[in-house]
Structures are given as C-alpha cells and as structure tokens.
Structure 1
Amino acid sequence: MEQQHSGTEFFIDGNGVADLGLIATPGAHELTALIDSHLVRWANRKGLNKETFIIPSECPRFSSGDGKGVIKDTVRGDDLYFVVDVGNYSCKYRLFGSENSMSPDDHYQDLKRLIQAASGKAHRITVIMPLLYGSRQHRRTYRESLDCAYALQELQSMGVTNIITFDAHDPRVSNAVPLMGMDNVMPTYQVMKAMFKHIPDFKPTPDSFMVISPDEGAINRNMYYASVLGVNLGMFYKRRDYSRVVNGRNPIVAHEYLGESVEGKDVFIADDIISSGESMLDIGYELKKRGAKRIFCNATYAIFTAGLAEFDKAYADGIISGVFGTNLTYRTPDLLSREWFHEVDVSKYIAYFVAAINHDMSVSNIIDPHAKIEALLQRYGVK
C-alpha cells in the first residue's frame, strides 16, 4: 500500500470535534478545491452526503486600495482551516485606476481580514500556509526586522491554534510561538512518487545515483533523501563576497564541492526554493563538468523569479534533465507547459492533516513518510 490511510477512517463519527470548514484566501482557491475534493470523497464513502467543506468568502477592495474580509456563511462553532498562498503574485487589484499584483504582505493582510470576519465565533482556527510568510528573512544580523516571527505571534494573538507549513526555510522560527502548534511538513514521499512516475529507468541505487546538497543550509533534507534511498551524499558550499550586498544578499563567488565522484551517475539536488535559479544552474554546470549523467532538481517552491529562459537553455543543452516542484504555491502557465517541469501534487497530504486534526488524531504517521517510501521502493523493485 502506498498510503497508510484510506482517508475514510477520519469520518467514522460525523465531522470530528466540530463541523469542518475550509476558507480559501484570494489566490489559494485552486489548492483549497483539491484539498476539498479529497475530504468530500472520504466523507461520502462514510455516507455523510457532503457536497463541499468550503465556506464561501471574499476580500473585496475599494478603489482607494482599502479592503475587507467577508465570510458568506455561518462559522459559529466550526473547526476552521484557512488556506493562504502568500506567493501568488498573479492576483491583481486596482488602486487609483492602476492594476497591482498582490505581494506577500497583501496576502497576509487578507488572511487576517478573514480571521477577523470569523469574529471569534469559530471552535478552533488552523492556518494552512505552505509558503511561510516572511520566512526567507529568518535571522537578524544587523538592525533588521523579523517579519515571520512577529507574524506568527500576531496570528497566535488572533486566536490561531495551529499552523501547517511545508519545508520552512528555517523551522526554528517556531520558537517564536512555543505555545502554539506548528507542523513543518516535508513532501519527501510525494517527490519520490513523482520521480518514479516521470523519470524513465529511475533506479536510485548506490552505484548509479547520488544525492547532492546545493549548500550547507539544505543538508538535512538531502541527507534524509540519501538515507532512505541508501545512496551516497555530496555537498556544495557557497563561497560568498561578504564585502558587498546585491539584491539583499552577499553575492556568491564560487560553488565548492565536497564528496565522492559523480561521474556516470544520475544526480538529485533538493532545496526549499528555486528563486532566480542561478545557484541551482551553477551547480548543474559544475556537476556536468565532473561527469554527472542526468541531473534532476527539486524545490518545494519553484517560483523562477528571473524567468524560465536559462532553464530552457540548460535543458536544451542537456545540463538538467528535469525539475520537480510542488503545487503549494502559484505556478505560471508557462512553467506548467515546460517539458522539463514535473508537478508534485501535495493536496492529498494536506487533506490527511486536516482530517486528522479535525478528529484530534495523531499526525505522527502522516509527518513521518519513511514507511511509505519503503513501500514505494519495494513496489518499483529498488529494495
């Protein structure tokens, strides 16, 4: 079995501790609909005759730019789950006649507006925020703001009891709210499943496959992949110029490699985010110089802030063989149309979380995917 749960066991006695409700903030409707489809299917298998768990809402704006949150149904006594995608820049609003893209700040503000609209009447509030607001600024070096830590404290003060996030840039940010639940989840199993589906002749064995960490910050996630697959691990570290700051960071001078030879082997590189993609491509070119066979990149959030042209060229030149990214944040139609991009659907994973929390059940088996990965490897004859 690929999953440890069928989903139906979560709906044995109705709707759990309270009626379950999903509320999608602007820009998160696609992901919320996918989560809802799983929950509805499981509920109806138990004869609950549900059409949807989604509670209609909106965040209209005045022409001056002021906004408000509106929930269009009762939520009194409900177990509410707010879904927000702070990275969805495709959402637009008009300000004094000009069209503006919503920033992470705008999405976070809309989340707070909808929580306010619940007016304290909900039984419990959980926020599903896969891309954690402000999380890239995760530590203070000089006189700098710590937006993520402060936002978590603000949500706690508004009555949020739990936050579900994925692959936080620095999970230690949960120390800001030690009395509030915070689940930092890794979509490892979903990525492995997508790789077996999309990569021809994919056999992650020690003699033909290696995992490479793109930097020291990503070592833990890559170490996990290497451990569960039983393959070797290598690592790059970034040599930076600390005398300058470019685009908010110290520029990278070179990528230095530590590890055994990658010659003739397929290589897998995992990181939390592909922003401009410059670092990932630099590592791809370095690995090709060292004789790597196929190079597969993975990022939980593949946002490509500098566009797709450089990745198109790297794919055409045979530098990279594929990029795997989740549907946890906005992907452009251009990205989804690329032959080299493979989407990893994580909606079912989130649905398990929602159902388990709604029934006050343990999420330990859901968080730890080791048994499911072992079953996946056995299914494809790897172990």
Structure 2
Amino acid sequence: MNVNNEIKIFGGSSNPELTKAICKYLDLDQGKAKIAPFPDGESFIKIEDDVRGRDCFVIQSTCAPVDGNLMELLIFLDCLKRASARRVTAVVPYFGYARQDRKDEGRVPITAKLVANIISTAGADRVLSIDLHAQQMQGFFDIPVDHLMAEPVLVKYFKEKELKDLTIVSPDVGNMKTAARYARELGGDLAIIHKKRINGKEIEAEEIIGSVEGRNVLMCDDMISTAGTMCGAAKLVRERGAKNIIAGATHGVFAGPAVERINAAPFDEVIVTDTIPLSDDVKKIKNLKVLTVSKMLGEAIKRIHCNESISCMFKGE
C-alpha cells in the first residue's frame, strides 16, 4: 500500500501490538508520537510526524484502565486536529462504556452517549469499532461510524476445526440472534439457556431449551467480562451430557473473578480476539487462544482511506 505520504497511523498505549500488526498488514510505518505522563499524572502527547493535510488514524482500545485510555484517545484526537490533519478517524477496537447505553433506572447517566459526544468534540471525523455491545450505539454519534463484526474471524477458526455434532448454545436470551448466525454459518443446531437472577450480582443458569447430550457445544458472545453467565451455562450443559465445550468472544475483558471462574468451569477451549491485550493474570486461563483482528482492521482502514465500501468486507464482494 504505497500511500505513506497520504495516510498516518498512530497507536495509543492501550494495545501497541495490535497497532504494529495493522501497520504490518498495510505495509506502513507507524506514526511517531511521544506519550508521557506529567509528574502529577496528567497525560502528555506530542505528534512527531508532519500530519498536515493527511488522513490520520488513531488506534486505541478503551479497555482497562478505561478512563486513562479514553483520555489518551481524546488528547490524541485533539493533537491531530490542531496539527491540521485533513481527517481524523478514531479506531476503537474495544469501546468501553458501551454497556451504559440506556437509563434502566432513575438518576443514572447514559455514559455511552456522553463518550460519543466527547470523542466527536475532541476532533474525530469518524469512528471505527468492532462489535459494539449494542447496535444502537452507532446512533449516539453525530459523525460516521464504521461498525465491524469479528464473527468472520471466529467462524473461520471454527470451520477449520471441523467440529462434528455441533450445537450452538446461547448463554442467555439476549444473545439469541448472535447464536443463530453462528448456527447458520457453521451448520450446527441451536439451543438456549434460560436463567434466573438470584440477586443484583448473581445469575443462575436454570434450564436448556434444546438438546446438548453427546454434542460439541459452542457458546459465543460479544465479550467475556466477569464470565458469570458463560461459566454457569458451561456447567449446566456439561451436566446435561455435552462433550467438548468451547467459549468464543470478540472482547476478552476478563474483569474481577473471570479468570478464576473460567479455570473452574468445564471449558475445553476459550477463544478471544486481540482487541484487548492480555494481562499476565489472564494468560493463566487454561486452553486460551487469541485470534487477531489486525487484518480486518487494516482492510477497513484501507477502504476508509480509499473511500471504498466497508460492508462489502462482510458480503464477499
């Protein structure tokens, strides 16, 4: 891709390895920037390349530490805008705060909308992200949003495994559409877990609608956070006679007791992508495999720069 003079790709400190992989796919040198803290903890960023009139992309997942990575993204955007970049795209592989997308009780914020507003205010001309927790989040932005799905990356891996006697299990009702798409792509049966809430923090998998006895089970979701729902579902399907149990997710958040829960659950394999870098603690998860979304993001960046269709990436065009 011989566009070094037209396009610049910068990476924040949240996921440097993903940025390097994207630049390698595009055969581009990564943009130079100085990122350092002031003694009082404030972030300082200086762009060290000429970006005047160029198409600039900032790759920064707003994963933990969420507020620090978000602030770094905002400063990057402002810095590029003030340096006269022609267009600035915020590439946010994992979009933190996406779950706070509605008022489900009184006197609470819609933080997802707030974050969308401040990203626009900071100088982003468009946003590129993967598997937002809720599709309607795209409407929170007053700038274009390119929403990618990691499903093709996961499906390709599962097809290569040639899984027989496959049942796709949705760990809850809200994940039914996702499970149905995987069932259609992989040619498996479909089952769903009915669960009940014990209290504000605990949910118990109660019943399976569908059969899993003697079947290989695949459970897929947009993220694994504290892993309570997925681990509960895994234990239930094992009790009902499932053979191999595989968990797949785009974003490996792995918050709180997730690592302990997953290692105690009967998973034969746990698959995530590299939208979020893995901590040393997370690397202790048994049978964990990480798939890369760098090629998909790189292709999307190239298409945005060349004013080509993004949706065609998922239609085989």
Q: Is TM more than 0.5 here?
A: yes
Q: CA deviation at 1:120?
A: 5.3
Q: CA deviation at 1:53?
A: 3.2
> 306, 311, 314: which one pairs with 2:262?
311
The superposition leaves residues 124-153 of structure 1 with CA deviations (integer Å, 9 ceiling, x where unpaired) of 111111111211212112211122211112
Query: Is the CA contact (8 Å cut-off) linking 1:211 and 1:233 kept in structure 2?
Result: yes
Percent identity over paired residues:
22
For residue 309 of structure 1, give the secondary structure of its aligned residue in structure 2: helix
For residue 44 of structure 2, give the secondary structure of its aligned residue in structure 1: coil
Aligned residue type for 2:236? E
- In structure 1, the gaps of 5 or more residues are 1-10, 41-51, 90-102, 373-383
- Answering whether residue 56 of structure 2 is matched by residue 56 of structure 1, we say no
Query: Is the CA contact (8 Å cut-off) linking 1:85 and 1:330 kept in structure 2?
Result: no
Aligned length in residues: 314
Distance 1:338 1:276 in 2: 13
Q: What's 1:152 paired with?
A: 116
Change (3 A) 1:110 1:271: same
For residue 136 of structure 2, give the secondary structure of its aligned residue in structure 1: helix
Aligned ranges for residues 236-255 of structure 1 at < 5 Å?
A: 236-241=193-198, 245-246=200-201, 251-252=202-203, 254-255=204-205
For residue 192 of structure 2, give the secondary structure of its aligned residue in structure 1: strand
Distance 2:231 2:77 in 1: 41
- In structure 2, the gaps of 5 or more residues are none
Distance 2:159 2:200 in 1: 41
Distance 1:85 1:147 in 2: 17
Q: What's 2:103 paired with?
A: 140
Q: What's 2:47 paired with?
A: 71
Aligned residue type for 1:260? G
The superposition leaves residues 31-70 of structure 1 with CA deviations (integer Å, 9 ceiling, x where unpaired) of 1000000100xxxxxxxxxxx3311113321211222221
The superposition leaves residues 200-253 of structure 1 with CA deviations (integer Å, 9 ceiling, x where unpaired) of xx335xxx1111111122222111111122322111233124xx534xxxx32x
- Answering whether residue 167 of structure 2 is matched by residue 203 of structure 1, we say no
Aligned residue type for 2:3? N
Aligned residue type for 1:313? A
Q: CA deviation at 1:176?
A: 1.5
Distance 2:159 2:144 in 1: 33
Runs of 4+ in structure 1 deviating by more than 6 angstroms, as ranges, are none
Query: Is the CA contact (8 Å cut-off) linking 1:326 and 1:343 kept in structure 2?
Result: yes
- Name the stretch that deviates more: 328-337 or 359-368: 328-337
Structure-1-length-normalised TM-score: 0.77
Query: Is the CA contact (8 Å cut-off) linking 2:194 and 2:209 kept in structure 1?
Result: no
Aligned ranges for residues 110-129 of structure 1 at < 5 Å?
A: 110-118=72-80, 119=82, 121-129=84-92
Aligned residue type for 2:137? V
Structure-2-length-normalised TM-score: 0.92
Q: Once superposed, what is the RMSD of the aligned Cα atoms?
A: 2.1
Distance 1:236 1:312 in 2: 21
For residue 299 of structure 1, give the secondary structure of its aligned residue in structure 2: strand
Structure whose alpha-carbon radius of gyration is higher: 1
